Amino acid sequence: MVALETEPRVEAFVNKSLYTSKRKQKNTQEQRERIMPINHTAESFLYNCNPFSGLSIASSCRHYSKPLSLSSSFSFFLLLLHRPALRHSLYISKTPLAEETNTIMQGSYTGFLLLFFCSMLFAFSSASPSNLPIIPFDEGYTPLFGDSNLVIHRDGNSVHLSLDERTGSGFVSHDLYLHGYFSASIKLPSDYTAGVVVAFYMSNGDMFQNNHDEIDFEFLGNIRGKDWRIQTNVYGNGSTNIGREERYGLWFDPADDFHQYGIVWTDSQIIFYVDNVPIREVTRTKSMGGDFPSKPMTLYATIWDASDWATNGGKYRVNYKYAPYVAEFSDLVLHGCAVDPIEHVAKCDNAPSSGAIPSSITPAQRVKMENFRKKHMTYSYCYDKVRYKVPPSECVINSQEAERLRKFDPVTFGSGRRHHGKRHRHNREVASSL
């Protein structure tokens, strides 16, 4: 990289004020053009998040929506420290050239410290739980069922689950957990996948058969040419009579590559993430009572035949001509409070720091979540007038959301009547039947 030299200041001792004004404009334009090749992102950041504006950091940065990465922020900061000429050029490119040099230099060091702090602030605000440690399969999980249909990759961090005419397959975490962050990068089967369900979920149904808790990611297969759909659900204290399902499309093909799916679970909140974008937030309310998951749960991942309900209510079934159906899991994260399975005592003192786990949704994330739901949500139990004449008490009705869903499906979300059909319930505790 070629070092920059500062443009000499023009001594305006001539009587032609027009000449002086044009020269100032030329200086400013040249300096901007010379700065741009060094770091376009940094220049854009300065323009939108200017700590020399006289405003507070929060005010001067509020319009900047493309944060610098940690690495680019730090390298840019070092560049500024070691190149006074660049510091001077950057500063005067955003300030009137008529200001005195000593005023510029007096504010430059403090100003760029504020710039660095501002860039780091935005970098950290966009931070996600993806920085959490990945656990090798053997350290955190054990096969659940499927025999040879479960294959652990040589690196120990990836596992393939397959479904064929003989059986599905699945794995389960060694430990029970009470709250935390749990995620996996998943690549789903391609082509004709009707009737196939891939599930990534938490449950304690093996311990509390009549009052179990559950937090679900379910991926519902489809016929050729139709997209996979995601379904999320929450049960607490055996409240399976109140399904809290939501269903969505995606902005990508989940069979083309790996994508990250995560669950944050605290004592008051559950957040579902797709590629670090929150897609659903469940907040505990008094009216939910014990319906909010509150007992220790184990993490499961399975692939299985759900022909009876998964695709168009059972209209399209699994076609084993296309088997085996293979779901790939990698980058497995178990970051929570492990619980002794016998004494049910939480071992949180030995748990990793929860500082990397988001405790809430940031304003920027909330905008992304609202945009996702507006574009991709196709079902929400809160608006299902066939199942619930009165929405469950925890539902917060959004009139725009309700209208959009009503147009999408006027029978389910409007005032029409559904044609006769059975309501499908299913049990994913497949281990007990195999």
Q: How many residues can be counted in the chain?
A: 434
What pTM was estimated for this model as a whole?
Answer: 0.69
CATH class belonging to 131-433: mainly beta
pLDDT per position as a tens digit, 278-295: 999 999 999 888 899 999
pLDDT digits (tens, 9 = 90+) for 25-73: 545 455 444 434 434 433 333 333 433 333 333 333 333 333 444 444 4
141: which strand partners?
173
Give yes or no for residue 76 having a pLDDT over 70. Answer: no
Residue 218: enclosing H or E segment and its boundaries?
Answer: strand 214-220
* 363 pLDDT tier (thresholds 50, 70, 90): very high
Residue 345: predicted pLDDT: 72
- What's the mean pLDDT when you consider all of the chain? 75
Q: Is the Cβ–Cβ distance between 137 and 156 less than 8 Å?
A: yes
Contact 378, 249 (CB under 8 A): yes
Three-class DSSP category at 307: coil
Q: Where are the domains of the chain?
A: 17-126, 131-433
* Peptide bond preceding 324 in cis form (omega within 30 of 0): yes
Residue 87 has pLDDT above 80, yes or no: no
Question: What residue has token string 């504020």?
Answer: 114
User: In 10 A of CB 412, how many CB atoms?
Assistant: 17
Return the pLDDT at 342. Answer: 75
Angle (CA) 305 187 213, round 5°: 60
Band (pLDDT 50/70/90 cuts) for residue 319 is very high
Per-residue model confidence (pLDDT) at position 44: 37
pLDDT value of residue 20: 43
User: What integer is the mean pLDDT of 375-392?
Assistant: 94
Q: How many H-runs (helices) and E-runs (strands) does the chain carry? A: 10, 15
* Residues 156 and 332: beta-carbon distance below 8 Å: no
Active-site residues: which are they? Answer: 214, 218
Residues 222-248 have pLDDT tens digits of 999 999 999 999 999 887 777 899 999
How far apart are the C-alpha atoms of 187 and 242, rounded to whole Å? 30
Going by C-beta distance under 8 Å and a sequence separation of 6 or more, which residues neighbour residue 264? Answer: 129, 180, 181, 270, 271, 273, 357, 358
Between 107 and 186, the more confident residue is 186
The pLDDT of residue 218 is above 80: yes
pLDDT at 29 (0 to 100): 52
Nearest to 265, CA basis, from 142, 157, 354:
354
User: Whose structure tokens read 């009139």?
Assistant: 399
